[in-house]
A and B are shown apart, each in its own frame.
Chain A
C-alpha cells in the first residue's frame, strides 16, 4: 500500500520569497506518478504539478518546481516569488500501478504581505 506523509501542517512565507513544502512517500510500485494539488479557501482543488517517477528531470510549472529524490522517496514543492494568491492547502499525492491516488494530510500555506 502507498503512503504519503506531509510533515508540515502549516507553513508561512513572505510575499516574493521562496518556500519549500515537504513530502515523502512510500510505494512498492516501480512505475508511479506524484502530484501536488492546491486547494484555495472555499475553492476547488487544482493540479499544480505532476511528476512521472521514471523521469529524472524535476518537473517545473512557472514559479512552481519540485525536488524529486527517488531513492529517498522525497517529493518537495518549491514556490518561488510567492504571491498572495498562493495561499492555500497544498496536498501531495501518489499514484501508480494498481494503486489508487493517495493523498497526504496537507500543508496550509499562508502568504504574508
Chain B
C-alpha cells in the first residue's frame, strides 16, 4: 500500500447532510489532489493544492469545498450534494505540482472514499 490514507472508506449521506472526507499523505510530498471516479468515465481532476495553495479548481460546483491546512492533509467538505455526486473520491499526492495542476511527478493514490448520496 502507498503512504496515502483516506477516511472514511465508505460514506452514505442524504442531500441535506454536511460531511467531510479526509486525506493524509506520509510521503513528504508538497502537492495533493482530489479526483472523482464515476463508473465508465475517466477520472476527473477536481482540485490541486501545491504547498497548501489551491492551484486548480476544475470547474467544481461549490457544494464541494476543499481545505488544505498543511502539505500532509487535505479535506473535502461536502454539503447539499446531489445523487449524481455519488462516486469514488480519490486523493493523490506528488512531490510537487506546477501551476495549473500540471506536474510530471508520479502521483500516489489513496484507496478512495466510496460516497453514496441518497
Contacts and interface: CB of A to CB of B under 8 A. Distances in A.
Interface of A: 4, 32-33, 35, 37, 43-47, 50, 91, 95-106
B118 interface: no
Contacts of B42: 4, 91, 102-106
The 10 closest A-B pairs by CB, nearest first: A45-B109, A44-B111, A103-B43, A103-B42, A100-B101, A33-B104, A98-B102, A105-B42, A44-B109, A100-B45
B40 A44 contact: no
A99 B109 CA distance: 19
Contacts of B108: 47
Contacts of A102: 42
A95 B102 contact: yes
Contacts of B1: 44
B4 interface: yes
Given A98-B102, A100-B101, A44 B2 contact: yes
A35 B45 contact: no
B100 to A, nearest CB: 6
